Amino acid sequence: MTTQKVANSFFDLHITGLGYLNRIREVTPKRGDAFWACDIAALNGPTDDVSYTRFDCRVSGREAEKLVKRCQQAVDMKRKVLIGFKLGDLWTDTFIYSRGEKAGQTGVSLKARLLFISWIKIDAEMVYQAPRHDEQGVDNDSPAGTAEQPEASNGYAATHPGEAAGSFDSPAMH
């Protein structure tokens, strides 16, 4: 009798959408390595009566971390940072409110990993568009009304005709 090692298989559950980036922070746990985290207020429902679902996210992956860090100053300045995103590994965490009118009540937080950022708008201006990965079937979740952007030589898409999105690295963003 021979034994074969069966590879683990997974069923991925991803959440894609658009939402506002908030509370960007570096978390240093007592055990383990430090990591970056953020909140996303995801838009859902009809456009004339939008609702928000809040996700507390651990930023996963080098590219997502780099993009979130670049947005930190804009978020700290209370600018509107809207992103197209993909989340994975959704789970819930319960907690007890410690203050306010809900003090003593149980609350639920939706937690997830921020896996991918497909685009970023700061105060309605497109500052980043991820390159398309059609061969892998990745959907960039482009916001309505945003035309397909040509890719610039630096790996970023152009934000305006004749302008490379590398301007996202401008001093105003640091």
Whether residue 8 is contained in a domain is answered as no
Structural domain harbouring 161? 14-133+150-173
Q: How far apart are CA 146 and CA 135, in angstroms?
A: 21
pTM over 0.85: no
pLDDT per residue as tens digits for the range 72-127: 999 999 999 999 999 999 999 999 999 999 999 999 999 999 999 999 999 999 99
Whether residue 27 is contained in a domain is answered as yes
pLDDT at position 21 is 98
Whether residue 160 is contained in a domain is answered as yes
Q: How far apart are CA 42 and CA 5, in angstroms?
A: 41
pLDDT at position 155 is 35
Whether residue 7 is contained in a domain is answered as no
Whether residue 138 is contained in a domain is answered as no
Tally of structural domains, the chain = 1
pLDDT per residue as tens digits for the range 9-45: 888 899 999 999 999 999 999 999 999 999 999 999 9
Element (H, E) at 91: strand 81-96
Q: Residue 17: name the closest of 38, 48, 39, 42 by CA.
A: 42
Residue 44 burial (C-beta neighbours within 10 Å; 0-12, 13-18, 19+): exposed
pLDDT at position 163 is 35
Whether residue 80 is contained in a domain is answered as yes
> How much helix, strand and coil, in percent to the nearest 5, is found in the chain?
15, 45, 40
Whether residue 144 is contained in a domain is answered as no
Whether residue 145 is contained in a domain is answered as no
